[in-house]
A and B are shown apart, each in its own frame.
Chain A
Amino acid sequence: MSRKIKMPERDPEIRKRDFKQVNTGYTRDEMLKEAGRCLQCKKPTCIGGCPVEIDIPGFIKHLAGNDTARALKVLKQKNNLSAVCGRVCPQENQCEKLCILAKKGESVCIGNLERYAADVAIENSDDKMATEKNGIKVAVVGSGPAGLACSGDLLKMGYDVSVYESLHNSGGVLRYGIPEFRLPKEVLDREIDNLKKLGMRIVLNTLIGRTKTIKELFDDRYKAVFIAVGAGLPVFPGITGENLNHVYCSNEFLVRVNLMRSYDFPDYDTPVYKGKSVVVVGGGNTAMDSARTALRLGAGSVKLIYRRTEKEMPARKEEWLHAKEEGIEFITLTNPIKFIGDEKKFVKAVECVKMELGDYDDSGRRRPQEVKGSNYTIEADAVILALGLHPNPILPLLTEGLNTDSRGYIIIDDNYMTSISGVFAGGDIVGGDTVIEAMGMGKKAARAIADYLKNI
């Protein structure tokens, strides 16, 4: 069996100094070779691993025949953001994991092929799809992956979709969270522009709940609302010194760099501190993104502290491999217990404690526990905490009758409808986790919204 064609990557020594894409994408020949590896199974198992149910062998078949336009058409039946998903989906845990070739050796690189089709076909841009408009208005709150996926499908069904975004630019976490070197803004802009061509209207600078309420949206003759406001308030560890200067939540750090372009300060107005010895706490993709961003801003050393081992890290393997190649130092089985500041309250060191793995917990991972007396300190002039986020509280708080669970997630039924009739929700605000999971929910919600609207 032929070996898979690896995604070409830029040299770690060079790429760690800029924000350009790490993965450069297949050439045509590489794409053809990889597409040719697909067995075109009669009963494809890969599709079962795709949250948005892409006809995977279908699009790969067209690629193998070097017909990118038709490949993209197949992708677009299910996915409006292929250029994004080809880059940021954890395919190794989804479609590629279930690829029949994975059992015998190496799976087809489905994600790389998806990306190729989306990148190349965008250049030929033939994805205007004429749909008859039905004139029924639907409001989508939040322009992140869940909101965009839902909008795309509703637009294709003929609905008149307006997306409300509180920030000054659209894309949600795809813009403010995921760095340029993983998902170039240009790629995101093209994907969003394609949705605009389908008729999507984006209303920026509008915080639903405060600027306008859900009720006011219905007063404006919207017939249904999809809430996809994403995650909100960052989690802090609750330890001494967590509010010292230059102790950041990953969201703040990434928003400064990705959304506000602070790496171009002072040409751009928003500052960011380019640390010398940076410590990142966490083991997810956001931790990797933060660490690699800090490195690219010019940090002399970046250490990543994680309380379990590499095996338990929730980050994609590709991300932590890239991080390691670039020189991020991984300090596992270690947890911060205190941040130490100088006389002006700027952080100067992190006191850590060693951890060991105990019994298995609810997540199926072994629970880390402190090794008594193993405390030691690591010097740091900047700390970035990537410990997750709580659901954003604003909209539930300001919307009467919108029920949430004890943790603040909006409660939905099997049809993605909330406790308010005609109001649906999906993505992080209902407990989603990844970009593709959010998109999957957005798509399913779109179907549910259409069903609902047909019956009222």
Chain B
Amino acid sequence: MFKIVNKKEIGPKVRAYEIYAPEVAKSARAGQFVIFRIDDKGERVPLTVAGTNPQKGLVKIIFQEVGKSTMHLASLCEGDYIKDFVGPLGHPTEIKKYGTVVAVAGGVGTAEVLPVIKEFKEVGNKIVTIVGARCKDLIILEDELKRESDLLLFATNDGTRGVKGFVTDVLKDVVGKEKVDIVYAIGPVPMMKAVAELTRAEHIKTLVSLNPIMLDGTGMCGACRVSVGGMIKFACVDGPEFDAHSVNWEELVSRLELFKSLEKISVDKFKYNQECKCHEK
């Protein structure tokens, strides 16, 4: 059993938890992920590690309520326990000095990019972070990002913060102004795909952290397979980071659609049961 030690709401439907898992906290590096399972009936859900505190044995995860399991997790309180928490899984980010690193993040990817840029900065890279959101109210962790970045830029769909448009608009501007040695993108698939298309044309090495459907997370089931450079790769053991220009994005997008209709059944059932509980109270 793994205790939820801290719970914070850091944005609309976005929560940061600190889970007591000392061995994971000790071993986890930037770019790796964990898999949690709430209870005996729960599914195994992968989440990128958003930070660790090895002294206190804590692992930080940040998630958005998008499906049944994240809604369920969000409904738990400080002091509650979840059944399973395994990690760190996947390869850590290869940290080295490139020069200028541009990190592009959207959604909860904004949280997940933090440990990565932190480590890139520590070895002497210049960090330009570009954050995308629908509007300014959905931007999370601005202070932390500012601390770890030499330059922090925003793109919002409605123009309430930074450039009105997409992260790629900002990225285009950045690569036009300075030499970028590597781009690291994490967030929604359409965003990562758009970044990949832009940097391919610019010949800039680009890494993406992929989030396919996953089951065991230890290289056993093949659920998380992605085509990279025409070869099958398993995100759980070969990834989760891959060369953005070699990923078959179209296939990744379609594979993420696999259980959409069943996921909805699960969410509806959860919401219904939640409502019932409220009436009882």
Contact = CB atoms under 8 A, between A and B. Distances in A.
Interface of A: 166-168, 176, 204-207, 210-212, 230-234, 236, 242-246, 248-249, 251-252, 255-256, 260-261, 265-271, 273, 344-345, 389, 392-394
Given A266-B266, A269-B41, A271-B263, A246 B221 contact: no
Contacts of A389: 220
A240 B24 CA distance: 39
- Closest A-B pairs by Cβ, 10 of them: A345-B254, A249-B222, A271-B262, A269-B43, A252-B221, A205-B86, A168-B84, A234-B222, A270-B43, A232-B219
B164 interface: no
A393 B237 contact: yes
Given A245-B254, A245-B258, A270-B43, A210 B68 contact: no
A252 B223 contact: yes
B88 A210 contact: yes
B221 A249 contact: yes
8 contacts: A205-B86, A210-B87, A210-B89, A232-B218, A234-B220, A243-B232, A251-B220, A270-B43
A246 B68 contact: no
Nearest to A236: B232
A205 B32 CA distance: 16
Contacts of A269: 41-43, 68-69, 266
A273 B68 CA distance: 18
Given A211-B27, A260-B43, A252 B222 contact: yes
A392 B44 CA distance: 20
A133 B84 CA distance: 31
Interface in B19-69: 23-24, 27, 32, 37, 41-44, 68-69
Contacts of B87: 207, 210-211
- Of the listed residues B24, B222, B225, B232, the one surrounded by the most CB atoms of chain A closer than 10 A to its CB is B222
A210 B27 contact: yes
Given A210-B89, A345-B257, 14 more contacts: A176-B216, A210-B27, A211-B24, A243-B255, A249-B222, A251-B222, A252-B223, A255-B215, A267-B41, A269-B42, A273-B258, A345-B251, A394-B218, A394-B219
Interface residues of B, number: 42
B172 interface: no
Contacts of A270: 43-44, 215
B254 A206 contact: no
User: In this complex, which of A166, A211, A244, A249 has the most chain B Cβ atoms within 10 angstroms of its Cβ?
Assistant: A211
Contacts of A273: 258-259, 262
A276 B184 CA distance: 42
Contact of A392 (B88, B220, B255, B265): B220
Given A252-B223, A394-B218, A394-B219, A207 B43 contact: no
Per DSSP, chain A at the interface is loop
B246 interface: no
Nearest to A211: B23
Nearest to A233: B219
Given A243-B255, A393-B237, A211 B88 contact: yes
Nearest to B259: A271
Nearest to A229: B218
Contacts, number: 126
A251 B221 contact: yes
Contacts of B220: 176, 230-234, 251, 255, 389, 392
Nearest to B224: A252
B258 A246 contact: yes
B218 A207 contact: yes
Given A210-B27, A212-B23, A245-B258, A392 B41 contact: no
A244 B254 CA distance: 8
Nearest to B232: A236
A394 B86 contact: no
Nearest to B2: A205
B254 A344 contact: yes
A207 B83 contact: no
A393 B220 CA distance: 10
A252 B84 CA distance: 20
Given A233-B222, A255-B221, A392-B220, A268 B88 contact: no
Contacts of A231: 220
Given A252-B223, A266-B266, A269-B68, A207 B215 contact: no
Contacts of A211: 23-24, 27, 86-88
Interface in B196-239: 215-216, 218-223, 225, 227, 232, 234, 237
Contacts of A244: 254
Contacts of B43: 260, 268-270
Contacts of A261: 41
A61 to B, nearest CB: 42
A249 B223 CA distance: 8
Contact of A265 (B89, B225, B262): B262
A210 B21 CA distance: 14
B238 to A, nearest CB: 9
Nearest to A265: B262
B249 interface: no
B85 interface: yes
A206 B87 CA distance: 7
Contacts of B266: 265-266, 269, 271
A243 B225 contact: yes
Contacts of B225: 236, 243
A268 B41 contact: yes
Interface centre among A204, A210, A212, A249 (most CB of B within 10 A): A210
* Residue with the greatest number of chain B CB neighbours at <10 A, chosen from A176, A205, A271: A205
Contacts of A245: 254-255, 257-258
A234 B27 CA distance: 27
A316 to B, nearest CB: 23
Contact of B216 (A204, A255, A268): A255
A86 to B, nearest CB: 26
* Most chain B CB neighbours (cut-off 10 Å) among A167, A231, A244, A393: A167
B179 interface: no
Contacts of A394: 218-219, 237
B174 to A, nearest CB: 34
A248 B213 CA distance: 12
Contacts of B269: 266
A205 B22 CA distance: 13
Contacts of A268: 41, 43
Given A245-B258, A344-B254, A345-B254, A168 B41 contact: no
A242 B255 CA distance: 12
A267 B262 CA distance: 12
A422 B102 CA distance: 46
A85 B41 CA distance: 29
